[in-house]
Amino acid sequence: MKRTKTLSAMSFSAYDVERRTRKGSFYAQVDTIIDWRPISAIIDKYYQKGLSASGEKPYDGLLLFKMLLIGMWNNLSDVKVEEHVNDSLSAMKFCGMHLEDNVPSYSVLS
């Protein structure tokens, strides 16, 4: 599922991430090959979304699933997955996140 947007529909940070990430990176290839909609539907069927104790919106189930995939593919602990997604533009983009988004804490993955 390739996402293409025009410059007018993108924020400056989203445009910058798009410009700075390699199109042929592993994460970009996986994101192009896999249709995430059926996977997302299965996750949504079983993932109970509710407000956290602090009243914050829950993270998207597909985002958490992709972070777990990153951890498995790179043999990373949950702490290192959080660091990796924070540090890697291609991993952040793969997860569907933008620079202004907060990356889920490792404790959410555990």
**Which position has the token pair 């777990």?**
68
**pLDDT tens digits, residue range 47-97?**
877 766 677 788 999 999 999 999 999 999 999 999 999 999 999 999 999
Total domain count, the chain: 1
This prediction's pTM: 0.77
The answer to the question of residue 3 being in a domain is no
Domain range enclosing 31: 23-109
**pLDDT tens digits, residue range 36-47?**
999 999 999 998
At residue 93, the 3 state secondary structure works out as helix
- Residue 103 pLDDT exceeds 60: yes
Total residues belonging to the chain:
110
CB neighbours of 3 closer than 8 A, spacing ≥ 6?
none
Cα dihedral 100/65/109/103 (nearest 10)? -10
